[in-house]
Amino acid sequence: MAEDAPTVAVINAGGWGTALAVKLANQGYGVRLWARRPEMASRIAAERENRDYLPYVAVPPNVQVSNDLACVLEGTDTVVIAAIASFVREVARRLRPLIRPNMLLVHGTKGLEPDTWMRPTAVLLDELGTEIGTRVAVLAGPNHAEEVARGLPAAAVLACIHPETAVRAQQLLATEWFRVYTNTDVIGVELCSAAKNVVAIAAGIGDGLGYGDNSKAALLTRGLAEVWRLVEHYGGTRATVSGLAGLGDVVATCTSPHSRNRWAGEQIGRGRPVKEIIASTPMVIEGIPSTRAVVEVARRAEVEMPICEGVYRVVFEGKRPDDALSELMARGITSEG
């Protein structure tokens, strides 16, 4: 690492945060990774590996790990937030006294805040002030942490209402193996990132029930149509839904063995109770709270999302998965659109 290399702060040492820290360190940046728990920070620093959330991936020596947020942010003008949706507000409150003018914030959260159903960017603006909106970019797309950390070829999208900020974040993250596109449709990107989690649970349920490729293709296609209806209602664009945050992430999340949401759906399809599934892994299955949030947002807007409604009934009302999918197939026939 060059002595004059800029320093990037990465907030939250989960799987995605650790993967981004590893990626940025391998690009030559100095990286400071913030862990919520002191013992976790000490363990990652000593072992140079995040065994809980990203095992078998070496954490480079130019990644400093700390539980002291002020130290992590000292001297940097770039902050990458990799928090789950339910933790974004707490992160923002901790950041509030430490934020400086011209600081770039990039978040990679894929979900909506529980209870308020707010998008992550809206939560950040709610806590840090609306004036920071031009300095917040959203990282999204088909990016499994395991593959990003290993340097496998991938593509992503960075959305910001201010094009210059999007370009600044793009220059931070783009490499010869990680292609980054810009977008100004923040609402569409964030809604896609949340709703695709629900479609992935539906796809996994089909896997657990032993359904084939035809049914999965139908679920993905019609699920994406539901995502489009939601995004359109809230002012997003069709290009976003057909791009990396929409179609790209739906394909990756619904088909990959790395996908926790697809895995959770598969376990549900095999008859395993939801509470047991949640308790069996230290990882957050973002699709479960996303299901409630996306369905509530759709109901509020009177947007029809029958696949997501079916997942909601299975996850939160105890409906049998095969009955829910049978109901979907029995819906009145109509035109494609």
Please give the CATH superfamily to which domain 191-329 belongs.
Answer: N-(1-d-carboxylethyl)-l-norvaline Dehydrogenase; domain 2 (1.10.1040.10)
Find, among 191, 197, 195, 200, the residue nearest to 231 by Cα: 191
The share of the chain scoring above pLDDT 90, in percent, equals 93
Q: What is the pTM of this model?
A: 0.96
| 184 neighbors 161 (Cβ within 8 angstroms) | yes
Burial 120-153 (b: 16+ CB within 10 A, else e): bbbbbbebbeeebbebbbbbbbbbbbbbbbeeee
Please give the CATH superfamily to which domain 7-184 belongs.
Answer: NAD(P)-binding Rossmann-like Domain (3.40.50.720)
* DSSP per residue, 173-232: H--SSEEEEEES-HHHHHHHHHHHHHHHHHHHHHHHTT--HHHHHHHHHHHHHHHHHHHH
User: Tokens at residue 101, please?
Assistant: 């003018």
Average pLDDT over residues 183-209: 98
Q: Do domains 7-184 and 191-329 have the same CATH topology?
A: no
d(CA 93, CA 1): 32
Average pLDDT over residues 252-280: 96
Domain residues of the chain, as ranges?
A: 7-184, 191-329
Q: Is the pLDDT of residue 133 over 50?
A: yes
* List 110, 196, 216, 319, catalytic entry: 196
23 is catalytic: no
Q: Confidence class of residue 1 from pLDDT cuts 50, 70 and 90?
A: very low
